[in-house]
Amino acid sequence: MKYVFLYLSIVLLAGSCTPIAQSSVNSESNPKALKLIDIAYEPEIKTIQLHPQNGPIQPAVTALGKWDLMLEFDDLRNQRDTYYAKVIHCNYDWTKSDLQDLDFMTLYNEFPITNNEFSVDTHIPYVHYWFNVPPVKLPGNYVLLVYRGSNKEDIILTKRFMVYTNQVTFTREGNLIGAGNIANLNQQLNFTIDYKNLNILNPMLDVHVNIAQNHRWDNVIRDVKPSFVREIEKELEYRFFEESKMFSGGSEFRFFDLRSLNYPGRNVAYVTKTTKPFEVYIAKDKSRADEAYSQYDDLNGSFNIDNLDYRDLAFTNYVNVNFALASPRVKGDVYVTGAFHNWNLNEENKMAYDTTQNIYTSRLLLKQGWYDYQYVVKSPELPYYHFEGSHFETENYYEIFVYHRPYQPRADLLIGYLRLDKNPR
């Protein structure tokens, strides 16, 4: 009997140490389709950040020759895996360019991700990975692709970044106020691009300008055409009078402070610790559409991972964050979004409506930190900022990306980049 008990104990112990099976959905019947956007291809891949090493809340934009980009992500499995990274060059519209790897890379385009560490005493064990992105030779749009082992089809994440040279100069024009209510809701950018240092035969066809607000991907304006072309002076003038060419100012982002689970910060209603991972409930929100503008500092939609309980990020926990938005049901889909979800709108962050309480709810697994977020609507009848309102006074930053396709190489190169801070404090 003693030996039988010992045998069963060994079997149970061995079973408890069995590695978690990979949840890759990559197979012949269900392959992973490459998407040149910011996205995780497996639910266990979380908290993806690509940023300059001097600050994780800075956008993934760097000058050619000033290289300091770092990728970070977590794998919610308690064992290491073998991951590799590959760089893809894209055109201005984020389609894959025709360039070969040797056209834009100085090294063989396959890089092992060797830096990692295990989480310590966390409710969900995970492995944190980080990787210094290799330098490129050409300016432009790029996507960093991470895959498992030697199988480039077994993709786990893709993340965008931009590399620029300043071969053009910018002149910012004073804002020209639009008509009526337009001026109260929107923010207007007027600027001139000087391309005297370049030989551009047809700027209307060969130059593409994209404009982004707060480095978000859900409302980028692509391929903006100039209002005036002065070929003798080699200038492109952009003046936006129409509402369709302006950005909604929006409101300052909602936020919550979850850097501590022992002493939750602002806008956290309460934390339930009866289950692991813990359940965190954000204070119930309501529509701000009819409210006056409220000024306060935010992260412009970004997030920052931090842990005040231990001051060591290896102890940082994942928790289930519960959002609640009190509102009558609207015609359309409602999402809670921000940089923490790569600005994607999908089933994971889509909110469900509770008819008994008349609230929209959502539950997301997030890592401890400070998070900006907002509620947006996809509807043919309602504006995107139906629940947030829009004000010209809102603090935002804008990025202007200027692309040119020369005769050689036949791909769009990022020849100009300008960041503009609107209403800086």
Q: Is the pLDDT of residue 287 over 50?
A: yes
Q: In terms of domains, do 191 and 285 share one?
A: no
Q: Which of 133, 164, 195 is the last residue of a domain?
A: 164
Q: In terms of domains, do 120 and 143 share one?
A: yes
- Considering the domain boundaries, does residue 130 fall inside one? yes
Q: Is the pLDDT of residue 177 over 80?
A: no
Q: Is the pLDDT of residue 216 over 70?
A: yes
Q: Which of 164, 185, 215 is the last residue of a domain?
A: 164
CATH number at residue 130: 2.60.40
Torsions phi, psi for 161 (to 5 deg): -150, 160
Q: In terms of domains, do 122 and 230 share one?
A: no
In 3D, which of 36, 134, 138 has the Cα closest to residue 86?
A: 134
Q: In terms of domains, do 196 and 310 share one?
A: no
Tokens representing 84 are 């590799």
Q: In terms of domains, do 39 and 69 share one?
A: yes
Across residues 122-148, what is the average pLDDT?
97
Q: In terms of domains, do 68 and 88 share one?
A: yes
Q: What are the tens digits of pLDDT across the range 258-273?
A: 999 999 999 999 999 9
Contact between 279 and 322 (Cβ < 8 Å): yes
Query: What band does 215 get if pLDDT is binned at 50, 70 and 90?
Result: very high
- Considering the domain boundaries, does residue 8 fall inside one? no
Across residues 3-30, what is the average pLDDT?
42
- Considering the domain boundaries, does residue 4 fall inside one? no
Q: In terms of domains, do 35 and 160 share one?
A: yes
Q: Is the pLDDT of residue 23 over 50?
A: no
Contact between 412 and 208 (Cβ < 8 Å): yes
Q: In terms of domains, do 36 and 80 share one?
A: yes
Contact between 248 and 185 (Cβ < 8 Å): yes
- Rounded (10°) CA dihedral 159, 250, 397, 58: -40
Across residues 187-196, what is the average pLDDT?
90
**Which pLDDT value is given to residue 66?**
85
Q: Is the pLDDT of residue 150 over 90?
A: no
The answer to which of 81-90, 264-273, 291-300 has the lowest mean pLDDT is: 291-300
**Which pLDDT value is given to residue 123?**
96
Q: Which of 164, 183, 215 is the last residue of a domain?
A: 164
Across residues 95-107, what is the average pLDDT?
94
Q: In terms of domains, do 269 and 362 share one?
A: yes
Q: Is the pLDDT of residue 167 over 60?
A: yes
Q: In terms of domains, do 201 and 313 share one?
A: no
Q: Is the pLDDT of residue 225 over 50?
A: yes
More confident site: 240 or 393: 393
Q: Is the pLDDT of residue 15 over 90?
A: no
- Considering the domain boundaries, does residue 17 fall inside one? no
Across residues 378-392, what is the average pLDDT?
92
In 3D, which of 132, 136, 126 has the Cα closest to residue 114?
A: 132
**Which pLDDT value is given to residue 20?**
37
Domain count, the chain: 3
- Considering the domain boundaries, does residue 13 fall inside one? no
| DSSP 8-class letter at 345 | -
Which residues is 370 bridged to in the sheet? Answer: 257, 304
Q: In terms of domains, do 200 and 268 share one?
A: no
- Considering the domain boundaries, does residue 269 fall inside one? yes
Which sign, positive or negative, has the C-alpha torsion 282, 283, 285, 290? negative
* Domain enclosing residue 132, as ranges: 30-164
User: H or E stretch including 212?
Assistant: strand 207-213
Q: Report the length, in residues, of the chain.
A: 425
Q: Is the pLDDT of residue 33 over 80?
A: yes
Inter-CA distances, 300 with 119, 340, 373, Å: 29, 12, 9
**Which pLDDT value is given to residue 187?**
83
The answer to which of 16-30, 132-146, 206-220, 256-270 has the lowest mean pLDDT is: 16-30
Query: What is the Cα–Cα distance from 97 to 51, expressed in whole angstroms?
Result: 23
In 3D, which of 374, 406, 402 has the Cα closest to residue 388?
A: 374
Which DSSP string do the residues of 21-75 spell out, in sequence order?
Answer: PP----SSSSPPPP-SSSEESSTTEEEEEEEETT-TTS-SEEETT---EEEEEEE
The answer to which of 243-247, 357-361, 402-406 has the lowest mean pLDDT is: 243-247
- Considering the domain boundaries, does residue 384 fall inside one? no
Contact between 88 and 110 (Cβ < 8 Å): no
* Percent of the chain with pLDDT strictly greater than 70: 89
Q: Which residue has 């300091």 as its token pair?
A: 68
In 3D, which of 64, 143, 133 has the Cα closest to residue 342?
A: 143
Q: Which residue has 């991907």 as its token pair?
A: 217
Q: In terms of domains, do 308 and 399 share one?
A: no
Across residues 244-258, what is the average pLDDT?
89
With vertex at residue 376, the alpha carbon angle to CA 261 and CA 96, rounded to the nearest 5 degrees, is 100
CA 320 to chain centre: 20
Which DSSP string do the residues of 175-204 spell out, in sequence order?
Answer: PPP-STTHHHHEE---EEEE-TTS--S-HH
- Considering the domain boundaries, does residue 337 fall inside one? yes
Q: Is the pLDDT of residue 1 over 60?
A: no
Tell me what the pLDDT averaged over the chain comes to: 88
